[in-house]
A and B are shown apart, each in its own frame.
Chain A
């Protein structure tokens, strides 16, 4: 356990090193203070006096910046509404944000700053498996401080199982559930030779393990596999990867990657005649992927007709769901933008997206949990507040429950395909792919 003296020493050391870290790392941070965004009205006063500070490290730069941006927009829209209504138990929600560019080392540095220097109440809205898996040991190291990670944008296993499962709470379904759903559906229509295209890191490996585990009960193994380096751009070629997988004669390919690389693979698969269904996980960032594959093309369907993307939230077009209606209403009203300090490259957000809807649901559930603290911003009581959430209606048609052995809120996986330039629910696998 950290003594008060040690903690002060850490904080002082971090304070001394902080300017150097910023200068070298190039990460930007600030309390959100946009006039138009009531979620961002952190006055810089002492934590816990009138605000609850949530620490965020996510990808706001690099090829995956769309993921961090969309997730933030959804969360910020909900917190804006909360703050406009007077906050939670009289306290405003403030996001302390850093950019990690979807790279593990900056993410670890950011987390240290958030925990020791900024003394945030909890960690929220992290993006990516390679980043989160490197942060989890930090949470274990500081477990006596009761710093929890809430609702990271990753379906990987490390934050769902020992030894780190006790330090995180998840809302979305896991990659294991997503890949199992994809595999089972493919196998059910006779597509048994399943190959994997994946990012050469913890995220890709997590999805690879999910596919492998899902194939095993069917007596099947991964037919072929190819990898790419994290940070690959759409302009790069994936021809070699296509050739490797083509040599294994797959019936379908499951991609575990980010939108730029997966879009490049889908494009090259069509260009080099690998005409099989190509599935992507929710993390891919469906709207960004679709934009890359269709922008400026007359024949916009050629690259997208065999795509199937799994999602962990329902369609944002499904207006029958109360949460979707609320999400669209708040996003229209507040239209949150990433603080200019964090913007290094241009990014045009989508009016609505799966990522933003997930961010919105994350924020909505977190606000409910904080509300259950009944005015006490006490980390030690946070876990009990989470466990008190049972059969909670988030407005997506599936009720949410947490408990000591249940640290993931939602279990449903949705499948979508591209029709008329947008992702729509896939209801009949046989008709679409058989």
Chain B
């Protein structure tokens, strides 16, 4: 005989606890990964902008625009960097990676700005742009645009992997808990079945002798107690002690 109702709340409780763990872990992960990866990308962009700025000084002073462009082209091959442009101290665009042209929003922006700024460029996407001055700004400024969509994709992927792992643990945990509960419920079912048989059979001599009686646990004790009661009947004082109504 199966025990259906006794562990219903237990099962629900286990599922709720695991679900809570999954949700809270995912939320924490989302926050941590988003914050850390965004910060990391911003720092990387700043470093790249600074590297380009440092490397550009001699090239700019030599007025070698081809080498300057070649330098910029190499850095834009780094994953996540979508554009780089270098402006002169007067705001002239000396090298850039835009095709088919420099977006209007960038043309209108402050070419000396080096603080991180978020940009939405039509047809290109969303970016976070950082800048670095060349020769303290007197030779121009390097601007590096990091693709926020790539950052978002990385964050989504990192969180997805985390959630996937926790979800697998949730499924395995719930299945394991169901199995454990069923394992615990099995002797109780046997006891219940035994008690039902005892209640149906009034012939003292033909009372069943089952495995459950041999158990060395609480269920075994209860089974033997039921058998004793069935054979000898309840003690009168025990009946009197039974609370009424």
Q: Tell me whether A227 and B66 are in contact in the complex, defined as CB-CB below 8 angstroms, given that A130-B73, A205-B95 are known contacts.
A: no
B73-105 to A contact mask, C-beta < 8 Å, 1/0:
100000000000000000000011111110000
Q: A134, B99: Cβ atoms under 8 Å? A: no
Q: Kindly identify, within residues 173 to 197 of chain B, every residue whose CB is under 8 Å from any CB belonging to chain A.
A: none
A240 within 8 A of B: yes
Q: Which of B64, B95, B101 has a CB less than 8 Å from the CB of A244?
A: B101
Q: Which of A162, A205, A225 has a CB less than 8 Å from the CB of B65?
A: A205
B44 within 8 A of A: no
Q: A200, B66: Cβ atoms under 8 Å? A: no
B232 within 8 A of A: no
A188-211 to B contact mask, C-beta < 8 Å, 1/0:
000000000000111111101100
Instruction: List chain B residues, Cβ under 8 A from A205.
Output: 65-66, 68-69, 95
Q: Which residue of A lies closest to B102 (CB)?
A: A225
Instruction: List chain A residues, Cβ under 8 A from B242.
Output: none
Q: Tell me whether A161 and B62 are in contact in the complex, defined as CB-CB below 8 angstroms, given that A130-B73, A225-B101, A227-B101 are known contacts.
A: yes
Q: Which of B62, B64, B68, B99 has a CB less than 8 Å from the CB of A227?
A: B99
Instruction: List chain A residues, Cβ under 8 A from B97.
Output: 200
B8 within 8 A of A: no
Instruction: List chain B residues, Cβ under 8 A from A288.
Output: none
A129 within 8 A of B: yes
Complex Cα–Cα for A19 and B65 (A): 36
Q: B65, A226: Cβ atoms under 8 Å? A: no
B35 within 8 A of A: no
Instruction: List chain B residues, Cβ under 8 A from A161.
Output: 62, 64
Complex Cα–Cα for A133 and B72 (A): 13
Complex Cα–Cα for A129 and B70 (A): 9
Instruction: List chain A residues, Cβ under 8 A from B70.
Output: 104, 130, 133-134, 158, 201-202
A387 within 8 A of B: no
Q: Which residue of A lies closest to B77 (CB)?
A: A105
Smallest distance from the beta carbon of B57 to chain A beta carbons, Å? 13
Smallest distance from the beta carbon of B239 to chain A beta carbons, Å? 91
B67 within 8 A of A: yes
A229 within 8 A of B: yes
Q: Which of A200, A202, A227 has a CB less than 8 Å from the CB of B67?
A: A202
Smallest distance from the beta carbon of B55 to chain A beta carbons, Å? 12
A157 within 8 A of B: yes
Complex Cα–Cα for A418 and B38 (A): 55
Total A-B pairs, Cβ < 8 A: 62
B1-25 to A contact mask, C-beta < 8 Å, 1/0:
0000000000000000000000000
User: Is chain A's interface secondary structure helix, strand, loop, or mixed overall?
Assistant: helix
Smallest distance from the beta carbon of A220 to chain B beta carbons, Å? 14
Instruction: List chain B residues, Cβ under 8 A from A204.
Output: 69
Q: B65, A206: Cβ atoms under 8 Å? A: yes
Smallest distance from the beta carbon of A80 to chain B beta carbons, Å? 34
Q: Tell me whether A200 and B99 are in contact in the complex, defined as CB-CB below 8 angstroms, given that A130-B73, A205-B69 are known contacts.
A: yes
Q: Tell me whether A240 and B100 are in contact in the complex, defined as CB-CB below 8 angstroms, given that A201-B73, A202-B73, A205-B95 are known contacts.
A: yes
B231 within 8 A of A: no
B221 within 8 A of A: no
Instruction: List chain A residues, Cβ under 8 A from B68.
Output: 205
B63 within 8 A of A: yes
Q: Kindly identify, within residues 291 to 335 of chain A, every residue whose CB is under 8 Å from any CB belonging to chain B.
A: none
Smallest distance from the beta carbon of B136 to chain A beta carbons, Å? 23
Q: A209, B100: Cβ atoms under 8 Å? A: no
A241 within 8 A of B: yes
Q: Kindly identify, within residues 119 to 168 of chain A, every residue whose CB is under 8 Å from any CB belonging to chain B.
A: 129-130, 133-134, 156-158, 161-162
Q: Which residue of A lies closest to B63 (CB)?
A: A209
Complex Cα–Cα for A203 and B101 (A): 16
Instruction: List chain B residues, Cβ under 8 A from A244.
Output: 100-101
Complex Cα–Cα for A201 and B100 (A): 12
Complex Cα–Cα for A133 and B22 (A): 54
Q: A129, B66: Cβ atoms under 8 Å? A: yes
A228 within 8 A of B: yes
Q: Tell me whether A156 and B101 are in contact in the complex, defined as CB-CB below 8 angstroms, given that A130-B73, A201-B73, A202-B73 are known contacts.
A: no
Q: A229, B99: Cβ atoms under 8 Å? A: yes
Q: Which residue of B lies closest to A105 (CB)?
A: B77
Q: Which of A202, A203, A206, A227 has a CB less than 8 Å from the CB of B100?
A: A227
Smallest distance from the beta carbon of A215 to chain B beta carbons, Å? 12
Q: A156, B62: Cβ atoms under 8 Å? A: no
Smallest distance from the beta carbon of B74 to chain A beta carbons, Å? 8
Q: B66, A203: Cβ atoms under 8 Å? A: yes
Q: Which of B64, B73, B95, B101 has a CB less than 8 Å from the CB of A158?
A: B64
Smallest distance from the beta carbon of A203 to chain B beta carbons, Å? 7
Q: Tell me whether A241 and B100 are in contact in the complex, defined as CB-CB below 8 angstroms, given that A130-B73, A201-B73, A202-B73 are known contacts.
A: yes
Q: B62, A202: Cβ atoms under 8 Å? A: no
Q: B66, A241: Cβ atoms under 8 Å? A: no
Smallest distance from the beta carbon of B169 to chain A beta carbons, Å? 40
Most buried by B among A129, A201, A205: A205
Instruction: List chain A residues, Cβ under 8 A from B73.
Output: 104, 130, 201-202
Q: B101, A206: Cβ atoms under 8 Å? A: no
B95-127 to A contact mask, C-beta < 8 Å, 1/0:
111111100000000000000000000000000
A-B interface, 8 closest residue pairs, ranked by CB to CB distance from nearest? A205-B69, A209-B65, A206-B66, A202-B70, A202-B66, A133-B70, A241-B100, A240-B100
Q: Could you list some 20 contacts between A and B, CB below 8 A?
A: A130-B70, A133-B67, A158-B64, A158-B66, A158-B70, A200-B98, A201-B73, A202-B66, A202-B69, A204-B69, A205-B66, A205-B69, A205-B95, A206-B65, A206-B66, A206-B69, A209-B63, A228-B100, A241-B101, A244-B100
Q: Given A158-B67, A227-B100, A238-B100, output 9 extra A-B contacts at Cβ < 8 Å.
A: A161-B64, A200-B96, A201-B73, A202-B67, A206-B69, A209-B63, A209-B66, A226-B100, A226-B101
